Structure 1
Amino acid sequence: MVFVQAKTLAPGYNREMIRGVNIGSWLVLEKWMCPSLFDTYASSAVDEWTFTETLGKDAAYTALQSHWSSWFTKDDVVSLKGMGINALRIPVGYWSFDLQDGEPYVWGAQDWLDTAIEWAREEGLYVWVDLHGVPGSQNGFDNSGRSGPMDWQTVDGNIARTHSVLKTIAKKYGASSYADVVIGIQLVNEPASWGNNSNDITRDFYNDGYGNVWAEIENGNMMVVIHDNFLPLSDWTNFQGPPAAGNLGIDTHIYQVFAESDNTLNQDGHVALACSKGDLLAAANAIVPVFTGEWSGSTNICLLADGSTIAGTSCSEDGCQCESADSRTWSAGLIAQLRRFNEAQMDVWEETTSGYFFWNFKTEHAPAWDFMKGAQNGWIPQPLSDRQFPGQCGY
């Protein structure tokens, strides 16, 4: 199976610009976003695997039902719509569809995914179903459900099992009854391009997964989404196939806190780096729809008393304040610096991609990663089109 070519927002992409958020740490736990859940039930756990393993099936089910019913709610959907959001990217693990003996996970998340889709439908929002964790872990990160091992491609049966899960997802959420709300199915989130993974195997998985999904769905407008595998977008824009094969989308994640080089920049440097992404994004988006499926407002910077910024998470000068501080203490100047960076990124996404999803809709203690808190407190523009720092990237 090969990919279809040249279906983009201009031409061919037949939906409005996606302005979305991720619903992270809901159906796939990530401790850094909701540490209180772990502190309450399993403080030594580091991911969903060890959370459920520590508690056992019955206690884990009880704890997760409490979390699922409170972390993300219909009220949040209503609020997000009011903040200008038109789409939700919802991470889910394979174990919500295929749970085998010897795995500590518990059933139940699929029912909540169904509920969230109904909430989105009622409010007129779109949904991407994102397979965030696959058997064996595609990256060894906690966001796959299990941190440490990365055996997705090296243990027999894992890739076949992933394809089976995707067929189940495609048959259910690609049905015509969901066509008004579920617009995307992501084959896998953030497969590593290092370690035990082979990029050639990932590419074969994408080809096969794309065909498998399209063999199951009824919704002819569905977007089948691949992650860029942490490789250049140009590696993924050269697939060709019959137009009847359907729609392909590329998901890229752009952060400015994880590379060593990022953490040497002041906010001027972060803004300039955001602006520099535009040409490559536009070139890829002219061939295949590109979505910034994850991004945040986080940069490790501090604001000096004279209004300039420096790289860092702490400082000792009088009047200096860092993003790492409690957001309840952030000055108007520091909030403006975060907003400046967010506006630059949003300008690029709006001008050069087919849409974006902020990571995350909320967090407990990471405010620069918290869309709702940012929208309520000024570092996310409201409305989303408002600009206090227009034209930073020349758009």
Structure 2
Amino acid sequence: MKSAFLLSALTALQLLGVDAAVFPKKIYGVNLGSWLLIEPWMLPREWVNMGGQQCSDCSKCIASEFEFAKAFPSTVDQKLNTHWESWFSQSDVNSLVGVGINTVRIPMGYWIVEALVDRSTEFYPKGGIRQLKRGLNQLKTAGIVAILDHHALPGVQTAQQQFTGRCTTNVQFYTTHNYHRALIWTAVMTALSHLDQDFSNVVAIEAVNEPIMDANLTPGYGTFQKQFVQVIRAVEIVLGIPVPGMPAQSFSTSNFTQALVQASSSSAFSQEVRSVLLDTAPILQGVAGQLSLDLFHFSQNRNLPPLVSNFMDINWQHNNPANPADAAIGPQIYDNHLYYSFGGVADPNENAYLTSVCNLDRIQQDANLGNSPLFFGEWGLPTQFTASDSFLRKWADAQKFSYSKGAGWIFWNFKIEISDLAGDTARQWSYLEGVKRGYLTKDPAAMNDPNVCDDFIN
């Protein structure tokens, strides 16, 4: 069901005749995983050929972007640029169009904003922001909207995960310093989404991918959620974009970075938001130089909708987590991830899987707590048991049946390497391979068997 804010945004755009991005009526999407943030398990042959390594403990070898950049400081930028060009290209965009994809979620590390990296202790590639601009332009031309997903946070948000960019048990994201860096990243991405035409298909920014699930281990996260939204809205106010419940501001300059500096003195914003705006100004100027973006002649007369703020839902965490719904100012959407292959969801057999997913109540549970609309931002076909082809068709249909009751779904991942080292990983983790094998229908709104859940619904 389309939410009220999506209807409002779409109606406003139609009335104004403005060409700007909004979420589609139903999200049918894929993640662009391992593009701007490599997870070596998805492309092991390429990773080894680049000079990376494989090991059972990803903190003990070159099995993350951090360790790769540390090992190859003089060639990392060239090697990663070659990867960025090849892993996601125009042919991939064409493939996504061919299977009806309307939305992508783009996982990124904080280091795509290069000035945020402490080069004395942190090791990451440079140049990704230009590739993001290139890819967004190709997606926009194809009519596909994008979620900018802050997938790997400064200081690392979850232990021992390749998706954080660094495998380590020393989790330091949940600190004042790293929250601040993440907020600057947010301000930069908000500004680019409204100022750079190649970013104009960006509909949402996701705050944090998969924070620690125990809220006792994420101090200050609820405050960060509120500041995340406040930063997005503050940048939009500087741009002249109306924000519900917040007063308009005017600035005596046509230089956007100078306007940010002026806004940093406004009593309309909290102390932390003012500090973020002030620190963002010179960093955004550097990013604009990389992208040849003119910040000197901006106008506050913008008939554009605000971006949608995006969080993992409240039920992602336990032990009395903060409710991200409490942070909302303007349009907001929520994300849930569901993988049966890691256990804890259903017994490892076909009937248990289908009974569980066909009776899924997460959308209603979230709605009861204000976390609506909800999309399923990560899911796939992997199982804890050896799955037959016939079951995978049912498994794909049943998940789509339940996830489509919300705002829609985004599959992990758009593709997986086909190689000797990757084995048959693509069979259950690649959307394009799933369509090729017939597990997933070429029309994402369709199912092989629309009655797949009839015998399992309680």
Q: TM-score range by the shorter chain?
A: 0.7 to 0.9
Partners of 2:311 and 2:334 in 1: how far apart?
A: 5
Deviation at 1:62, TM superposition (A): 1.6
2:397 is aligned with 1:340: no
The structure with the largest strand share of the pair is 1
Going from structure 1 to structure 2, the CA distance change for 1:345 and 1:211 (only over 3 Å counts) comes to: same
Partner of residue 5, structure 2:
12
Q: Decide which of 225, 229, 252 is 1:206's aligned counterpart.
A: 225
CA contact (8 A) 1:99 1:107 kept: no
Partners of 2:30 and 2:211 in 1: how far apart?
A: 20
Q: Decide which of 375, 385, 388 is 1:291's aligned counterpart.
A: 375
Partner of residue 381, structure 1:
441
Equivalent positions of 1:301-312 (< 5 A) are: 301-302=385-386
Q: Deviations over 1:217-273 (max 9, x none)?
A: 3442421101136227x967684588xx311111110110112564x4212211111
Partners of 2:326 and 2:210 in 1: how far apart?
A: 23
Question: What count of residue pairs does the alignment treat as equivalent?
Answer: 351
Partner of residue 307, structure 1:
none
Partners of 1:11 and 1:283 in 2: how far apart?
A: 19
CA contact (8 A) 2:215 2:321 kept: no
Partners of 2:444 and 2:220 in 1: how far apart?
A: 39
Partner of residue 253, structure 1:
337
Q: Decide which of 270, 273, 276 is 2:356's aligned counterpart.
A: 273
* TM-score of the aligned structures, taking structure 1 as reference length: 0.82
2:135 is aligned with 1:84: no
SS of equivalent residue, structure 2 residue 376 = strand
Going from structure 1 to structure 2, the CA distance change for 1:42 and 1:179 (only over 3 Å counts) comes to: closer
Going from structure 1 to structure 2, the CA distance change for 1:126 and 1:167 (only over 3 Å counts) comes to: same
| Amino acid across the alignment from 2:102 | N
Going from structure 1 to structure 2, the CA distance change for 1:104 and 1:179 (only over 3 Å counts) comes to: closer
Gaps of 5+ in 1: 1-7, 303-322, 324-333
| Amino acid across the alignment from 1:34 | L
CA contact (8 A) 1:153 1:201 kept: no
Partners of 1:180 and 1:10 in 2: how far apart?
A: 22
Partners of 2:410 and 2:142 in 1: how far apart?
A: 18
Partners of 2:447 and 2:366 in 1: how far apart?
A: 26
Partners of 1:166 and 1:183 in 2: how far apart?
A: 14
Q: Decide which of 146, 149, 152 is 1:130's aligned counterpart.
A: 149
Deviation at 1:363, TM superposition (A): 0.8
| Amino acid across the alignment from 1:80 | L
Partner of residue 116, structure 1:
135
CA contact (8 A) 1:31 1:46 kept: yes
Partner of residue 188, structure 1:
208
| Amino acid across the alignment from 1:143 | F
Deviation at 1:174, TM superposition (A): 3.6
Percent identity over paired residues? 25
> Rg bigger for which structure?
2
Partner of residue 39, structure 2:
30
Partner of residue 319, structure 1:
none
SS of equivalent residue, structure 2 residue 189 = helix
Deviation at 1:122, TM superposition (A): 0.6
CA contact (8 A) 1:52 1:106 kept: yes
SS of equivalent residue, structure 2 residue 404 = helix
Q: Deviations over 1:62-89 (max 9, x none)?
A: 2111111101111111111110100110
Most deviating of 99-108 and 383-392:
383-392
Q: Deviations over 1:306-356 (max 9, x none)?
A: xxxxxxxxxxxxxxxxx4xxxxxxxxxx222111101100011112x1121
Deviation at 1:175, TM superposition (A): 3.7
CA contact (8 A) 2:334 2:375 kept: yes
Going from structure 1 to structure 2, the CA distance change for 1:293 and 1:75 (only over 3 Å counts) comes to: same
Q: Where has structure 1 moved over 6 Å in runs of 4 or more?
A: 234-238
Deviation at 1:150, TM superposition (A): 4.2
SS of equivalent residue, structure 2 residue 111 = helix
Partners of 2:345 and 2:30 in 1: how far apart?
A: 27
Deviation at 1:173, TM superposition (A): 1.4
CA RMSD of aligned residues (A): 2.5
Partner of residue 159, structure 1:
179
CA contact (8 A) 1:13 1:289 kept: no
2:62 is aligned with 1:45: yes
Most deviating of 210-219 and 151-160:
151-160
